[in-house]
Amino acid sequence: MAEWTKHSLLDLKSLSVEEIEMVLETAKSFKEVSARDVKKVPALRGKTVVMLFFEPSTRTRTSFELAAKRLSADTINIAASSSALSKGETILDMAKNIEAMNVDAIIVRHSCSGVPLILADNLSASIINAGDGCREHPTQALLDMFTINEKLGRIKGLNVSIVGDISNSRVARSNIWGLTKLGANVTVCGPSTMIPFGIEKLGVKVSYDIDAVIPESDVLMLLRIQKERQNDKNLPSIREYAKTFGVDNERLKRAKREVLIMHPGPTNRGVELSAEVADGEYSVILNQVTNGVAIRMAVLYLLLGIREPVTV
Amino acid sequence: MIKSPLKVMDKENIRRAISRIAHEILEKNKGTKDLCMIGIRTRGAVLAERIKESIKQIEGVEIPSGILDITLYRDDLTLVATQPVVHETKISFDITDKKIILVDDVLFTGRTIRAALDAIIDFGRPASIQLAVLIDRGHRELPIRADYVGKNIPTSLNQVVEVILKESDNKADMVKIEDRDE
């Protein structure tokens, strides 16, 4: 197996196929740790991980915190609302101050694309991108790929359709980078106002008709309609989106027998998918959440192991 | 001191050693009640399966066995340049109140066994843990000893003991000692 050399995880755009496969392979071992009675191993004992979330999050933050704790690292949570940012401090100053307390990794989420890159350029701690604007959300895509591989046994050659607001979705971008690198055929589908111009250059097909996409798909990845990122020009109404693109049992009748229904969460039941589909036999939404902890353990383990070689 | 490179055990020696260890385990534990085997990846797991098979032939009883990966419990994780590859631990039975036979190929500093003991304790509270190794080469750095030893081999610190087993290495069983290149 190749050697891991990355110090930070900023995006899947810059990861090689071997590196992606290495994370997925390492995560398999960590999944077993979370299934034990004592869900803790001493691998990262003495390491400190700070979580800097400038956007609301339950799943990702909890998942990262559990991952760090199950590896015996110490974690600190900083919520933007209660931080010194409200006193006018810049993000970079704040991060540098945190680093000055000798932390090993900073996990960051921010509504602006590129914030993790700025931190990585200026700090020596490992930076993990937990979602930046509409750019990337690498650990989400890694856990999605892990789940697909676990359920279907492969990724290469599968038809994966990502449905929803592609323009605003960092999950879609990370998945496009990752899945195309591993040889999947990716189609993005949604209203034309939500598909960015020129997205074909990333190696994906574009469709505006979900009923044409469903019969072909091995995986249907449904994205949340992000109400906080919409202006009124993208959609006439949420109800219209639900009617034209929402996946319900009626639409799924034309799907493949082993189709996987995935969603990065949080779900809007009755919008991008119906409640019976979210809870139905094809849904792997909760498996994704379980696998998220294993993926984040693998990422922390690999990143925090990198240091200068010791000369003995 | 043994001159190297030298073959110290062949296929037949290893077979007899395993058979003897199986008998010793049964004698010391007065049968197979509550016994289970845990092998340390990779060659310890192979040896555990062989001892288990040997016990089955002697007593006609199949005892549970598992595989332990100790990577996450190593005490040198912060000293190595890049993280070692982690493999899966497979222990599918409850170890509480069981008599565990921990198996490894070579007993050297004792640090691997220390890590394995920590790992096992995380799975539950066994009645006892006994250690079986194919080779004891000396140079302990921790107060650890083996209960069952295939062969004691005096070595110097600049020698390497290599255990080759058919299941893991796809070559005929052998134990050899070599001087390190540097």
Chain A contact set for B78 (CB, 8 A):
46, 307
Q: List pLDDT tens digits, range A166-192.
A: 999 999 999 999 999 999 999 999 999
**Would you say residue A231 has pLDDT above 80?**
no
If you average pLDDT over every residue of chain B, what do you get?
92
pLDDT at A309: 40
Query: Residue A23: enclosing H or E segment and its boundaries?
Result: helix A17-34
For residue range B147-170, list pLDDT tens digits in order. Answer: 999 999 999 999 999 999 999 999
What pLDDT, in 10s, does the model give residues A3-17? 788 999 999 999 999
**pLDDT of B121 over the 80 cut:** yes
Q: Establish, for the pair of chains A and B, how many residue pairs have beta carbons separated by less than 8 Å.
A: 58
* Residue from A56, A27, A207 nearest B85 by CA: A27
In chain A, count of helices (H) and strands (E)? Answer: 11, 9
In chain A, CATH 3.40.50.1370 covers 17-136+292-304, 138-289
DSSP letter at B5 equals S
Element at B159 (helix H, strand E) = strand B159-164
Smallest Cα distance from B160 to chain A, Å: 18
Tell if the CB–CB gap between B90 and A33 is shorter than 8 Å. Answer: no
Q: Mean pLDDT, chain A, as a whole number?
A: 92
pLDDT in tens, A265-277: 899 999 999 999 9
Neighboring chain B residues of A299 at a CB cutoff of 8 Å: none
Instruction: Please report the pLDDT score of residue B81 as a whole number.
Output: 63
* CB < 8 Å to A34, chain B: none
Distance from CA of A45 to the nearest CA of B (A): 9
Going from the N-terminus, what domains does chain B have, and what CATH number goes with each? 11-76+86-155 (3.40.50.2020)
- The model's pTM: 0.87
**Does B72 lie at the interface with A, CB-CB under 8 angstroms?**
yes
ipTM above 0.85, yes or no: no
**pLDDT(A308) > 50:** no
Please tell me the predicted confidence (pLDDT) of residue A312.
36
Q: Report the residue of A4, A18, A23, A29 to disrupt the B interface, i.e. the one with the largest count of B CBs within 10 Å.
A: A29
Q: Are B86 and A29 inside 8 Å of each other by CB?
A: yes
Alpha-carbon distance values, B5 to A178, B153, B181 (Å): 48, 14, 11
d(CA A128, CA B64) in angstroms, rounded, equals 41
pLDDT score, position B2: 53
Q: What is the CATH number of domain A17-136+292-304?
A: 3.40.50.1370
Q: Which of A204, A264, A226, A297 is nearest to A9 (CA)?
A: A297
Q: Are strands B6-9 and A126-132 parallel, antiparallel or unpaired?
A: unpaired
The alpha-carbon gap from A296 to the nearest alpha carbon of chain B, in Å, equals 14
pLDDT of residue B74: 85
Q: In what order do the strands lie in the sheet with B65-68?
A: B65-68, B35-40, B99-107, B128-136, B148-152
Over range A39-58, report the average pLDDT: 91
In this model, does residue B77 exceed pLDDT 50? yes
* pLDDT tier, A89 (very low <50, low <70, confident <90, very high otherwise): confident
Give residue-wise pLDDT tens across range A250-266.
999 999 999 999 999 89
CB–CB of B83 and A305 under 8 A? Answer: yes
Assign domain A138-289 one CATH number from 3.40.50.1370, 2.40.50.90, 3.40.190.170, 3.40.50.620: 3.40.50.1370
- A154-173 pLDDT per residue, tens: 999 999 999 999 999 999 99
